[in-house]
Amino acid sequence: REINVENAAQFMYVLPIVVKAFEVEITPANRIVAQVGEALVFTCNATGCASPSFSWRIQTDNPLGGTVTNHGTHSTLTISAVNIENAHDYLCTVCCEHEKKEKSFKIEVYSFPGDPVIEISTSLAAGQQATVTCKIPNVYPSDRLEVLLKKGDHILHEQYFYEDHSTNAETKTVTYSFNLTTEDIGKEISCVAKLPIDDMDFEPKERVTSQKLNANFGPKNTIIISSPSNLAMEGESLNLTCVTDSNPPPQIVWRRQVADKIVQCASENNVLAIPQAHFTDSGLYICEVANMLTNKTEKATVEIVIQAPPKNTTLSVFPSNAVKQGERVAISCTSTGVPAVQITLRKKIGDATTTLETQDGKYTIERVLLKDAGTYECVSSNELGEESQRVVLNVKVPPQNITVLIHPSENIKEGANVTITCSTYSNPPSKMILKKVHPEKEIILSSVNGTFILYNVTKSDTGTYLLDVFNEVGNNIKMIEIAVGGVENPDQMMLVVIAFSCVTAIAVPVVAVLIYVSRKAKINGSYSLVKALRLKV
């Protein structure tokens, strides 16, 4: 089928293409009022251009004073802290292919950051001259500053700074003196500072500070109030408040008496806080107040007692808890607590407990004996509880009071057995060695449980034997003569008891018990001295 092109054209629709015009816009726009120190961010935005290029400048060709960041179709100028040098006309230039557009804005700067500060010099008393000083901090532009000094509703003085053309933010001072009357006491002195720049939109444009005209006095009637009281338990919080009558408010220094010294406390106001009080916080606290205008000082004191059960209890032995018999021993117990602690020193041996007489928690043994060994306990107590410490005193003693049994006798016939048994007391336990004196060499043998056995002796076993009993503290030696070949009497047993005296007497078993043991006991682990000698000779 044929289509008529002319007829078809009548039904064709052409869609319109909208092309956005190249434009530049800045936000915030036009005129900006900023206080010194504020941060400002300006955005230069381009529309109708896919790849614009940006540039910023001040029309006076001064440094920008800020940071430029480009983000595709917009660019930002950031001034982190405005200063007076930023008070200029700024220009943002945008280029799009062969077309260029510019937008400008203006930054106006002021500084009026704080209220006036009033100082009234000299001691205020009726009939004396009072000088009032008003300081307005960091003002700009100062040539627009107006200051009024008022007493109540009455204007004392007004001052304008029209001729001041400072180029920086400066503190401006206004001073005025007048004679003080009794009617003036209690009235307010006001300093009114105004920065009336009508064509700049900022607030506040007026700042006021007031101070009463009070007569200076004091300090007097100074006291310390302790809360909850001046008697507290350890761990509680305590507040000391220094109260005084003074105008102006005085300087306050807290001190504390420690032993014979006065130390300053870390507080510069009238309240001294003691959180979680420790018993070492007890003592005399001093509050010293001083009025610099009246040149007067006054002190108040309070005694603080922090109660605590016994603690830090220590029990020490000098020179050591392991000593040699005969040494001097000092046992000392110390403890702290409030109320004052009572120290008791006890000695325990088994189930028996003996309370010792001490002096300031010290107990001295001039010459320590074995009987002084044992467990010593220090008990520290007061009304709030008790604490104890223990120490074991070990007294070392060399071998002494040695008992030697020779069975059947030191005079025996060949072929018989000879048993030599030795017992002693010492601390720590002793070791024993039997030595036979030989012209060429010395033969040394150890005992088994203090017993030596010579089997089937011969005449060659005749001779002198040395029994050496020793421990880490000392030793004792017993000499024994054995004669082989004499008359044998099997029913006879000869007991030889050799007692050695050492530094301190030690309890020894009775001889009858040793005789009984030597007759009845079966010696385990015995060995033959004869056989050993025959192997070595």
Q: Tell me what pLDDT residue 494 has.
A: 36
Strands (E), 267-365: 271-274, 283-291, 296-318, 322-324, 329-338, 342-349, 352-356, 362-365
Spatial separation of the C-alpha atoms in residues 421 and 431, rounded to whole Å: 13
Which whole-number Å values give the CA distances from 393 to 125, 312, 353, 371, 419, in the listed order? Answer: 78, 21, 15, 10, 37
CB 213 within 8 A of CB 130: yes
Residue 181: both structure tokens together: 């009357």
Task: Name the strand (E) or helix (H) holding 534.
Answer: helix 529-536
DSSP secondary-structure letter at 521?
A: P
Spatial separation of the C-alpha atoms in residues 300 and 223, rounded to whole Å: 5
Strands (E), 475-526: 475-484, 494-496
User: Whose CA is closest to 159, among 147, 177, 145?
Assistant: 147
- Other CB atoms within 10 Å distance of the CB of residue 266: 7
Spatial separation of the C-alpha atoms in residues 342 and 381, rounded to whole Å: 5
φ/ψ (deg, to 5) at 349: -130, 110
φ/ψ (deg, to 5) at 184: -75, -20
In the three-class reduction of DSSP (H, G, I as helix; E, B as strand; rest coil), residue 182 is classed as helix
DSSP secondary-structure letter at 270?
A: S
3-state secondary structure 124-162: CCCCCEEEEEEEEEEEECHHHCEEEEEECCEEEEEEECC
DSSP 18-30: --PPPEEEEES-E
Beta strands 99-110 and 117-121, pairing class: unpaired
Spatial separation of the C-alpha atoms in residues 382 and 307, rounded to whole Å: 10
AA identity, residue 195 = L
Q: Tell me what pLDDT residue 46 has.
A: 93
Catalogue all structural domains in the chain, each as residue range(s) with its CATH number: 23-110 (2.60.40.10), 117-215 (2.60.40.10), 219-307 (2.60.40.10), 308-396 (2.60.40.10), 398-482 (2.60.40.10)
Task: Name the strand (E) or helix (H) holding 146.
Answer: strand 146-151
Q: Tell me what pLDDT residue 127 has.
A: 60
For the chain, how long is the longest CA-to-CA vector? 169
Residue 130: both structure tokens together: 């009072």
Question: For tokens 């008496």, what's the residue?
Answer: 257
CB 434 within 8 A of CB 418: no
DSSP 36-47: TT--EEEEEEEE
Q: With 0-12 CB in 10 A as exposed, 13-18 as middle and 19+ as buried, what is 82? A: buried
Residue 48: both structure tokens together: 């109708």
Could you tell me the mean pLDDT of each successive run of 10 residues in the chain, 537 residues long? Answer: 51 56 89 91 92 89 88 93 90 91 91 92 65 92 92 90 88 89 79 90 91 79 91 90 88 87 82 88 92 88 91 93 93 90 90 89 93 93 92 93 91 91 90 85 76 88 90 91 69 34 29 31 33 34
AA identity, residue 320 = S
Interacting residues of 381 by C-beta distance below 8 A, sequence separation 6+: 310, 341, 342, 344, 387
Residue 194: both structure tokens together: 């105004």
